[in-house]
Amino acid sequence: MPYPMDASLVTSCLVARSGIYHLFRALQLKPGETVLAPDYYSGNEVAAIHAAGATIAYYPIKLNLEPDMDALSRLVARLEPRVIYVIHYLGWPQPMAEIQALCRKSGSILVEDCALSLLSEQNGRRLGSTGDYSVFCLYKTLPVPNGGLLVQNNASLPELRDLKLEPGPSVTATGRTLELAFEALRSRANGAGKALFAVKQTIGRMLRSASVRHVPVGDIGWDLANVNIAMSSFSNYIMRSLDYEQIRQRRRDNFKLLQSKLAGKVRMLREDLEEGVCPLFFPILVQDKRATAIELRQRDIGAVEFWNDPQDNPAIGASARHMRAHVLELPIHQDVTPDQIEYIASQVLHLNPEPARC
């Protein structure tokens, strides 16, 4: 299997946020030591870092999804952070050479969050392999029920070596597998997804009435009670049978096809797709994200509102706020066929959503 699955020091948790929590616990930050993290974040990674007892300061992310390097440099000089935390958004890489140089200068630990960027490369190098540590979320890109990986690229922290994780309840695998199948079917726009969703709800009801413990996967939230649950062996089993190069290629082809249909007609968040980038979604900027998402879902297109929450952090800058208000993701994953891309494009063009005002 490719990196990060083949890395020599990997901890496999139920979800990536658990790996982040264990990493920051193991780093044993002292009072006053800071983690510098981007102001555009999901909430799960930040909750995990907080729960591990660390103090976070934020650096601004620009509208092209990259850090404001001048602001970041100034913050690094002022705060001398123990950790610089980098998020690679939706498959697009961050300027790692510059960020790594900053880390060397300040003696900071570099952590790469690749939760949204599995299989992506920058100049032939896998994302997550530059930093001291990296985290990955598997179920966002692969058809697995759960799974988060924490990779140690350089050092081996004894606390992580001694970590004992308990096996996850199998109900998680069942529920999430059906959910994924449902997502895939929904974007096929033939109505079958709705039927499958009903099946899943029925199974969910049966399990709840049988008092089977439910562990959420794919949500935004934090529960310390779940941090010691390992990835299910079912995920491992599926991962051994996947064609990773084909997954990346299909995502790239779908992205380019959708781009060719929508170019000049929607406002795209990123128009570039460098060699090796494995896009997670096709992100567009619309004025009314909620209304557009509802309209598209009514047409069986699994549009995702990207990071509505949390908006109550005063450290979030203007660009990150703008993205939270307006970024909508269109599906381009490996199960979406060229015909479905045509369908998605035709529906978006028909709806003609107002682009986000600058």
Ligand X SMILES: Cc1ncc(COP(=O)(O)O)c(C=O)c1O
Where does this chain bind ligand X (CB under 6 A)? Answer: 15-17, 42, 44-45, 87, 113, 115-116, 137, 148
Supply 169's token pair: 């309840």
Are residues 165 and 184 in contact, defined by beta-carbon separation less than 8 angstroms? no
Nearer to ligand X, 136 or 255 (CB): 136
Q: Which residues pair with 137 in a beta bridge?
A: 148
**By C-beta, is 137 or 257 nearer to ligand X?**
137
Asked whether 50 and 77 are in contact (CB, 8 A), the reply is no
- 3-class SS of residue 258: helix
To the nearest whole angstrom, how small is the minimum distance from the Cβ of residue 32 to ligand X? 25
d(CA 300, CA 144): 22
Q: How far is the CB of 253 from ligand X (least distance, A)?
A: 24
Distance CA 138, CA 148 (A): 6
State both tokens at 22. 């264990």
Least distance from C-beta 310 to ligand X, angstroms? 12
Name the DSSP letter for residue 28: T
What gap in Å lies between CA 95 and CA 62, rounded to an integer?
Answer: 13
Using omega within 30 degrees of 0 as the cis cutoff, is the peptide bond preceding 4 cis?
yes
Beta carbon of residue 17, minimum distance to ligand X (angstroms, whole number): 3
Contact between residue 146 and residue 112 where contact means Cβ atoms under 8 Å apart: no
